[in-house]
């Protein structure tokens, strides 16, 4: 059903694009406004469907842990029971660089489900502090035409030390991801706006965003949001308790490794060194 809705929206977008080629600028603006309204309604419907799916037919089976699918991994998706070799690379992160547990998130600034999990990430950061590192990576989905520009804006802000400040503004204003607003928010954050614009256009930043997406796809994390907790997969806008269950398990494993003499600086590399590299 969700696939049909998304496909329908794409079809509408193509139809409107064809109409635009035959219309003047005034009609083009009206068509853009119409399409934006349709996309907004689509996101609302999908969000409601996601909530219903979580309430109906997806309750954990007896003995299943929070966030686990009792039926096992879907074809082509990562196995929640496995550990994956998820490199953090140059992703921006919160928490200590040598935290006991590392969460790598793949997200999209125009995705309503990704917006929904932002408070959960903040709750994790507050609850665990430097013991949990939360690294952010981009998966700008093709149906979200402003997701990649928003990713570029976040990375450009990051060049001036304000990645997560811009991250928060982008998610809080997910329906207003315009170039004008990017510049406005850069000004509000005290950034050098001209440098910010140059960095947004830098091919190296564009490549970083694309490489983030390729890495996630290779690991099987094609949808958003997607998370790997010390290399263990958790899909979707899960509640805090689902993350806590995995974090606490991995914290105990980390403590055991530290007790054996593994330094905290080498801890994450040790945890994922034999991890899988694809589903």
Is the full-model pTM beyond 0.85? Answer: no
Boundaries of every domain in the chain: 2-55, 92-272
* Contacts (Cβ under 8 Å, ≥6 apart) of 263: 98
Give me the tens of pLDDT residue by residue for the chain, a chain 279 residues long: 444 444 444 444 434 343 333 344 445 444 544 444 454 445 445 444 444 444 433 334 344 454 444 455 677 899 999 999 999 999 999 999 999 999 999 999 999 999 999 999 999 999 999 999 999 999 999 999 999 999 999 999 999 999 999 999 999 999 999 999 999 999 999 999 999 999 999 999 999 999 999 999 999 999 999 999 999 999 999 999 999 999 999 999 999 999 999 999 999 999 999 999 999
Residues 105, 227: contact at Cβ < 8 Å? yes
Report the distance separating Cα 188 and Cα 99, nearest Å: 31
DSSP string, 143-205: T-TTHHHHHHHHHHHHTTT-HHHHHHHHHHTTT---HHHHHHHHHHTT--HHHHHHHHT-HHH
Chain mean position to CA 212: 10
CA dihedral 233, 219, 142, 203 (to 10 degrees): 120
Give, in words, the CATH class of 92-272: alpha beta
């Amino acid at each position: 059903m969700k696939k049909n809705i998304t496909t329908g929206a794409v079809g509408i977008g193509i139809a409107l694009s064809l109409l635009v080629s035959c219309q003047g600028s005034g009609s083009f603006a009206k068509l853009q406004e119409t399409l934006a309204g349709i996309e907004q309604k689509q996101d609302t419907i999908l969000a409601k469907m996601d909530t219903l799916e979580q309430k109906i037919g997806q309750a954990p089976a007896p003995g299943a842990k929070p966030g686990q699918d009792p039926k096992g991994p879907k074809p082509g998706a990562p196995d929640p029971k496995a550990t994956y070799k998820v490199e953090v690379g140059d992703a921006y992160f919160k928490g200590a660089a040598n935290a006991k547990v590392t969460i790598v998130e793949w997200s999209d600034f125009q995705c309503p489900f990704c917006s929904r999990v932002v408070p959960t990430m903040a709750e994790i950061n507050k609850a665990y502090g430097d013991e949990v590192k939360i690294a952010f990576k981009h998966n700008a989905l093709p149906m979200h035409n402003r997701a990649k520009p928003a990713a570029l804006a976040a990375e450009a802000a990051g060049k001036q030390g304000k990645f997560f400040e811009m991250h928060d503004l982008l998610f809080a204003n997910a329906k207003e991801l315009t170039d004008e607003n990017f510049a406005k928010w850069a000004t509000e954050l005290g950034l050098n706006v001209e440098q910010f614009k140059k960095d947004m256009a830098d091919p190296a930043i564009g490549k970083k965003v694309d490489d983030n997406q390729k890495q996630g796809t290779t690991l099987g994390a094609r949808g958003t949001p997607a998370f790997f907790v010390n290399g263990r997969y958790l899909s979707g806008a899960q509640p805090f308790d689902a993350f806590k269950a995995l974090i606490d398990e991995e914290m105990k494993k980390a403590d055991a490794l530290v007790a054996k003499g593994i330094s905290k600086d080498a801890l994450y590399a040790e945890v994922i060194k034999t991890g899988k590299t694809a589903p």
